[in-house]
Structure 1
Amino acid sequence: MRKIFYSLILITISTTAIYSQTIIDRDPEIAAMAKEVSADSLHSYIKTLVGFGTRNTLSTQTNPNRGIGAARKWVLKKFNEFAASSNSRLTAFIDTVTYHPDGKRVDSTIILGNVVATLKGTDPNDHRIFLISGHLDNMRTHVMDRVNDAPGANDDGSGSAAVIECARIMSKHSFPATVIFVTVSGEEQGLLGAYYMAKKAKKEGWDIEAVLNNDIMGSNNSSETNIIDNTRIRVFSEGIPAYETEKQAKHIRALGIENDGKARQLARYVKEIGERYVDNIQIVMIYRNDRFLRGGDHLPYVENGFAAVRMTEMNENYYHQHQDVRKENGIQYGDLPEFMDFEYLRKNTAINLANLSNLAKAPAMPQNVTVEVKKLSNYTSLHWDKPATGNVKGYYILMRETTSAFWQKKIFTADTKADLPYSKDNYFFAVQSVGESGNESLPVVPGIAGR
């Protein structure tokens, strides 16, 4: 079993109040799965996707070898191949809806289709869902050009390939919770496929705890600045929640938790777990929901109240995004496979896989987490209830100074309460469930007891 040291300080509390630094172990099953991620497999998926000529959402859906229709059928075929070795737990289909001209980026009636594979959880009482997404469609310089070639290798062949590779590996394993793998259409036309799925999930009451959206994550160099770096990837997350903002504002202001919404907690989790299992990569948290002038498929989910983040390469090359393939002034334009780094894409895909696996193996989040504020004290008293599902070994209490971006200490306890010699005025706290194999749930920030 491989062991690694963390900058986090892990402390155990008990009746004897013994404090000590501890080594955190990698779950051997997840570590082995992360090593299965193959740069060659990712390369082959992208080669096939590029071979469809164009995957513009408005392109042909009847040609068996070209266009978005052929691409969707190929992804479905791959998912069904993986299903054969999943003991019937993985099922896949193309989820379609008729979309009419909108006067924006859709000028004719189309069948909008997302390719969805669901790896059903093994615990019938566990209704949690963890979702990974990439967009299958692409575009040339003009978003309405549905006829001419558009390779779309990195945008977003990279994210779609990551989804397919995670499905390939994870379908051979069992998890208490459900994992959904989806390649959506219509991203370049206005996030249409993601909006369709997010609204459907909200309407039907899906218990989605986390969405990992992958978009442009396979190239290691930037235009203009010429920076080359395949050791860092960005995770974008919203601060103030987009969903029911006014309703939540009073609570956020009272606790000072502008940086502790569900998406921001997910981003911290992605960083910790990803760096735990994937070597030679740093996950850089960006305190923005997305980049300037751009938007991604995580946005419809956060707008509907789900925790969602965007994974994107550190240094983008705009010569190879939304460009017709051509050469001008000695510069090669176009989103071609030769400008990708498949070892970098391998690492970024493994980050997704490790996070999805750790989340799906972990117990549910602790319930009713509260902090006592009825009296002045230099101690902090936390209380919580056990999670609704999952076998719990104990809980981690996370803490950090109010100026810190990351959790600085993890305090383990088997109890459902704790009195800590740290002032609640000086630190932020959260609690996460820990399973028998050491897998952690997402953290829960405490509310105020009695409210």
Structure 2
Amino acid sequence: MKYLYTVSLLPLFIATQSLAGDISTMPTAAFADNQQLHKIASEISAIRIETDIKKLVGFGTRHTLSETESDTRGIGAARRWIKAEFDKISAECGGCLTVYYQSETISGEKRIPNPTEVVSVIAIQKGQTDPSRYVVMSGDIDSRVSDVMNFTADSPGANDNASGIAGTIEAARVLSKYKFNGSIIYAALSGEEQGLFGGKIMAKQAKKDGWRIKAVLNNDMIGNIQGVNGVINNTTARLFSEGTRPTETDKEAITRRFTGGEVDSPSRNLARYVDKIADQYIPNLDTMMIYRLDRFGRGGHHRPFNQVGFPAIRIMETNENYNRQHQDLRTENGVNYGDTIDGVNFDYAAKLTSLNAVSLASMAMAPTPPSNVKIEGAVKPDTTLSWTLASASENPQLAGYKIYWRFTDSSQWQFSRSVGKVSEFTLKNVVIDNYFFGVASVAIDGTESPVVFPGAAGSFGN
């Protein structure tokens, strides 16, 4: 988010005077500029995204219960084409992607009553030094019409969610040309409309395999600029993020009541990170951080990852057109219904894909987010933060750490101080009661991890 606000110079002068040494305190919290990230943003192609969306629409329907044997129609043909695209990308980068199907047979559910194999396509770009640390970009393969159980009718799903799948494939094309310290996963998830099953399967397997997932960017509808309310806008996007995590224990909830953290879950700080990326690297795009798991009373494929404790957010268009969502193809009273290709703005889809690609790259370049972040300072004039130093072998790019803080009614981090490669630092005469605090890891090239709020409420895990 871009803000205009006035900062009183007296508190800033006092704070600067009280922080000894040559490390500066800044009244803003901008990232160091990285030219490689600007280059990545510029390499995303609206033309390739358009081609991929048209290909996906061409399968007629991608309903989870639809045809799987045909080479031209149904979800089986769609997922085989997606895998072939990932395989092609991998071949062009010398086998840099591990591509595979991930599946589970689901039955006895309201929207999947009979045994059905729910199959997602996963592509992993392994990190060079910290391969077990992952950031994820996802989109949904499946589509639907008005009746969620109608798996035979044409269901183009151009925006919902061929746009998210095309963006994920395009991000893989661009990012596969680069090498990163951490790993990146490109996930084409299935079964979303029938109950978020692809995400549930992947999240469960990730927990079982001990994956250290630090971020999931779920892209669900990133191509529409004309809202059902008549608003046309291609310059904003929404970031949905949950507050307190569902895995919080009773003991952790009691601690949070006295120390804060309701608006500083890892998902919320992931959203703040993506918001700053948009401001710095994506021209003519302002993101709205929305303090809610998803749209009012609705859901998306980031939720299964939140449910097991992984930081995850939803990235999507600002103005939805409900005439183009979950609708039979028809015309009534002069209004066209259905999720067809003419409702997708490919330049806008490319802009949101660039936001994803740069966010993934920045996090994969940066050192792992700080772990075991703690804070103390009750009834004292100073605030002390501590954390565990990151593994040198996994994070050779680590230059040090940066402490962030903000007023408690501010949505974005306002102040920061680089403190070097230490595991503890005291902010002199900065009173703990008046701010929220966090710590980020910083690489030699200036790329940063998301900010980690102290305690269990803000932890990104180990």
CA shift for structure 1 position 31: 1.1
Contact 2:26 2:417 in 1 (8 A): no
What letter matches 1:369 in structure 2?
Answer: V
TM-score, normalised to structure 1, is 0.93
What letter matches 1:119 in structure 2?
Answer: Q
**Residue 446 of structure 2 corresponds to residue 438 of structure 1:** yes
Residue 211 of structure 1, aligned match among 209, 213, 216: 216
Distance 1:8 1:251, change over 3 A: farther
What letter matches 1:46 in structure 2?
Answer: I
What CA distance in whole angstroms lies between the structure 1 residues aligned with 2:20 and 2:248?
Answer: 40
Name the structure 2 match of 1:329.
333
Contact 2:32 2:447 in 1 (8 A): no
Matches within 5 A, 1:256-267: 256-267=260-271
What letter matches 1:51 in structure 2?
Answer: G
What letter matches 2:451 in structure 1?
Answer: P
CA shift for structure 1 position 231: 0.7
SS at match of 1:319: helix
CA shift for structure 1 position 360: 0.4
CA shift for structure 1 position 18: 4.9
**Residue 435 of structure 2 corresponds to residue 418 of structure 1:** no
Aligned positions, number: 441
What CA distance in whole angstroms lies between the structure 1 residues aligned with 2:123 and 2:23?
Answer: 47
Contact 2:66 2:151 in 1 (8 A): yes
Matches within 5 A, 1:92-241: 92-102=99-109, 104-123=110-129, 125-223=130-228, 225-241=229-245
What CA distance in whole angstroms lies between the structure 2 residues aligned with 1:365 and 1:161?
Answer: 29
Tell me whether 146-155 or 195-204 shows the greater mean CA deviation.
195-204
Contact 2:107 2:115 in 1 (8 A): yes
Tell me whether 157-166 or 406-415 shows the greater mean CA deviation.
406-415
CA shift for structure 1 position 68: 0.1
What letter matches 1:370 in structure 2?
Answer: K
Cα deviation, 1:270-323, whole Å, max 9, x if unaligned, reads: 111222110100110001001123210011011101001011210100000000
Contact 1:363 1:434 in 2 (8 A): yes
Contact 2:63 2:74 in 1 (8 A): yes
What CA distance in whole angstroms lies between the structure 2 residues aligned with 1:201 and 1:195?
Answer: 10
Contact 1:8 1:409 in 2 (8 A): no
Contact 2:98 2:124 in 1 (8 A): yes
Name the structure 1 match of 2:355.
351
Residue 306 of structure 2, aligned match among 302, 315, 326: 302
SS at match of 2:181: coil
CA shift for structure 1 position 394: 1.9
What CA distance in whole angstroms lies between the structure 1 residues aligned with 2:244 and 2:35?
Answer: 36
Contact 2:97 2:123 in 1 (8 A): yes
What CA distance in whole angstroms lies between the structure 2 residues aligned with 1:43 and 1:158?
Answer: 9
Distance 1:429 1:8, change over 3 A: farther
What letter matches 1:15 in structure 2?
Answer: G
Contact 1:5 1:24 in 2 (8 A): no
Cα deviation, 1:84-105, whole Å, max 9, x if unaligned, reads: 1223221211112222242x11
What CA distance in whole angstroms lies between the structure 1 residues aligned with 2:441 and 2:123?
Answer: 27
What CA distance in whole angstroms lies between the structure 2 residues aligned with 1:17 and 1:39?
Answer: 42
What CA distance in whole angstroms lies between the structure 1 residues aligned with 2:182 and 2:4?
Answer: 27
Contact 2:27 2:415 in 1 (8 A): no
CA shift for structure 1 position 378: 2.2
Residue 429 of structure 1, aligned match among 423, 432, 437: 437
**Residue 411 of structure 2 corresponds to residue 405 of structure 1:** yes
What CA distance in whole angstroms lies between the structure 2 residues aligned with 1:38 and 1:6?
Answer: 32
5+ residue gaps, structure 2: 457-462
CA shift for structure 1 position 5: 12
Contact 1:8 1:408 in 2 (8 A): no
**Residue 369 of structure 2 corresponds to residue 365 of structure 1:** yes
SS at match of 2:174: helix
Distance 1:8 1:398, change over 3 A: farther
**Residue 402 of structure 2 corresponds to residue 396 of structure 1:** yes
Name the structure 2 match of 1:317.
321
Structure 1 segments, 4+ long, off by >3 Å, are 4-14, 16-25
- Identity across aligned pairs (percent)? 41
5+ residue gaps, structure 1: none
Cα deviation, 1:56-97, whole Å, max 9, x if unaligned, reads: 000010001000000000000100010012232212111122
Cα deviation, 1:384-433, whole Å, max 9, x if unaligned, reads: 33213312212111110011111011211215233223111000110101
Distance 1:394 1:17, change over 3 A: closer
Name the structure 2 match of 1:78.
85
Contact 1:153 1:337 in 2 (8 A): yes
SS at match of 1:127: strand
**Residue 384 of structure 2 corresponds to residue 377 of structure 1:** no
Contact 1:121 1:174 in 2 (8 A): yes
What CA distance in whole angstroms lies between the structure 2 residues aligned with 1:190 and 1:286?
Answer: 23
Cα deviation, 1:99-131, whole Å, max 9, x if unaligned, reads: 2242x11132222100100001111x5421111
CA shift for structure 1 position 371: 1.9
CA shift for structure 1 position 211: 0.5
What letter matches 1:376 in structure 2?
Answer: V
What CA distance in whole angstroms lies between the structure 2 residues aligned with 1:282 and 1:429?
Answer: 24
Contact 1:7 1:408 in 2 (8 A): no
CA shift for structure 1 position 202: 1.4
Tell me whether 240-249 or 199-208 shows the greater mean CA deviation.
240-249
Name the structure 1 match of 2:94.
87
Cα deviation, 1:132-166, whole Å, max 9, x if unaligned, reads: 11100000111111111111000011111111011
What CA distance in whole angstroms lies between the structure 2 residues aligned with 1:146 and 1:126?
Answer: 39
TM-score, normalised to structure 2, is 0.91
Distance 1:6 1:35, change over 3 A: farther
